[in-house]
């Protein structure tokens, strides 16, 4: 099951019929959602992780509270540490009705980091994860709308939501296992019921046609030059110059290659994601041999693009790695398999070991300890 299947129930249906158009409520695998961020996880992050702002914020009655009300200072190795969340202060505010917001969980909580990495590749849009810990009967924020699409799922307790759509106000009680999708701009508010509530919000920071068109046009804009002096008294000079430049721009825009621009957009996305190197320290201690079990890291793309007559680039999410084109068959073999051993690759022994060691360092591959099945597992999606 993919990340989008988990959150929507049917990835293909979501992409074709629901995306950016209407709300959608889905009952998912309760255990799978709770495992992404349980109440115990939230407790550990708040009380035992030395978490700092802005990874935490606190809100009550629709207002965000000042950091001084729940943070403290400390000293590490003689250096001042500010913005450190004081668990006692934060819990006291929580008991008084405040909601604790965990921000940017995709950067520091591994289960959600993995989910976000996979979801970004399925959607082709940047994503983020926040969570809201709300005391019984409390409401963190009044009715509001977000500037991005969201998936919302409950992992502890329950919360009454009001969702404003074109058909009116819909009342939804969110409980663990339910996942709700809200397109950009959907007004909503939520209030915890009689128990502590914890829910996760996945924000989809959607890329737009407007943005892509702007990037395409910027490629052919003329260099900066001055407007004519005195144009306030002679608007005709401004009109003539503008007309000439608009005509030139239209001609240049007409010559833009859509295929090349689209390829550049794909490359931009697949080299701008967050690094994914968890387990890299362990992998660094392993000497990769011909029989070392390896697998592609979940959420890591592996897209091959030509880079000249005898070179290719491998887009890895956070970077592009250049290599000789003769390695393409081996890279295609890696793309086609979830797990394998260097000995499975169509290269000489020394070359395949060097390649695999490099790809482990680059974070595309990780070493696995369990016995693996080296039968091909086809992966035909170019975006992966």
Domains of the chain, each with CATH number or no CATH: 3-204 (2.60.120.650), 210-261 (no CATH), 280-367 (3.90.930.40)
CB atoms within 10 A of CB 245: 13
Confidence of residue 370 (pLDDT cuts 50, 70, 90): low
Is residue 54 reached through a cis peptide bond, with omega within 30 degrees of 0 on the bond before it?
A: yes
Q: 50-64: per-residue pLDDT in tens?
A: 999 999 999 998 899
Q: How far apart are alpha carbons 147 and 302 in whole angstroms?
A: 31
Q: What is the DSSP string of 106-159?
A: GGT-HHHHHHHHHHHHHHSS-EEEEEEEE-TT--SS-SB--SSEEEEEEEES-E
pLDDT tens per residue across span 165-215: 988 999 999 999 999 999 999 999 998 999 999 999 999 999 999 999 999
Distance, in Å, from the CA atom of 356 to the CA atom of 288, rounded to the nearest integer, reads: 7
Cβ proximity of 115 and 129 under 8 Å: yes
Q: 232 CB contacts (<8 Å, ≥6 apart)? A: none
DSSP code of residue 17: I
Q: Is 49 helix (H, G, I), strand (E, B) or coil?
A: coil
pLDDT band of 375, cuts 50, 70, 90: very low
pTM over 0.85: yes
Q: Over pLDDT 90: what percentage of the chain?
A: 86
């Amino acid at each position: 099951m993919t990340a989008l299947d988990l959150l929507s129930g049917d990835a293909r249906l979501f992409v074709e019929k629901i995306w950016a158009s209407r709300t959608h409520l889905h009952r998912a695998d309760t255990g799978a959602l709770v495992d992404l961020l349980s109440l115990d996880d939230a407790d550990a992050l708040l009380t035992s992780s030395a978490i700092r702002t802005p990874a935490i914020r606190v809100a009550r009655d629709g207002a965000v509270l000042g950091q001084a009300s729940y943070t403290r200072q400390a000293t590490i190795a003689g250096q001042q540490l500010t913005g450190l969340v004081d668990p006692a202060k934060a819990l006291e505010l929580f008991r008084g009705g405040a909601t604790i917001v965990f921000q940017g969980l995709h950067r520091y909580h591994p289960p959600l980091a993995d989910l976000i990495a996979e979801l970004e590749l399925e959607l082709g849009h940047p994503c983020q994860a926040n969570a809201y810990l709300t005391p019984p009967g409390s409401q963190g924020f009044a009715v509001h709308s977000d500037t991005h699409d969201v998936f919302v799922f409950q992992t502890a307790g329950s919360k009454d939501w009001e969702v404003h759509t074109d058909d009116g106000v819909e009342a939804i009680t969110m409980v663990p296992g339910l996942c709700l999708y809200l397109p950009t701009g959907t007004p909503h508010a939520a209030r915890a019921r009689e128990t502590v509530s914890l829910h996760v919000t996945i924000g989809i920071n959607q890329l737009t046609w407007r943005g892509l068109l702007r990037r395409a046009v910027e490629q052919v804009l003329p260099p900066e030059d001055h407007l004519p002096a005195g144009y306030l008294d002679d608007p005709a000079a401004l009109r003539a110059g503008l007309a000439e430049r608009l005509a030139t721009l239209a001609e240049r825009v007409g010559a833009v290659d859509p295929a090349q621009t689209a390829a550049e957009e794909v490359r931009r996305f697949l080299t701008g994601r967050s690094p994914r190197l968890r387990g890299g320290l362990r992998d660094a201690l392993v000497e990769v041999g011909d029989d070392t079990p390896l697998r592609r890291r979940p959420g890591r793309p592996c897209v091959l693009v030509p880079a000249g007559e005898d070179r290719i680039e491998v887009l890895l999410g956070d970077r592009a790695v250049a290599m000789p084109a003769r390695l393409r068959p081996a890279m295609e073999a890696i793309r086609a398999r979830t797990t394998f051993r260097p000995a499975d690759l169509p290269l000489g022994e020394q070359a395949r070991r060097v390649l695999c060691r490099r790809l482990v360092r680059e974070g595309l591959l990780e070493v696995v300890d369990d016995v693996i099945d080296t039968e091909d597992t086809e992966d035909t999606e170019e975006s992966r």
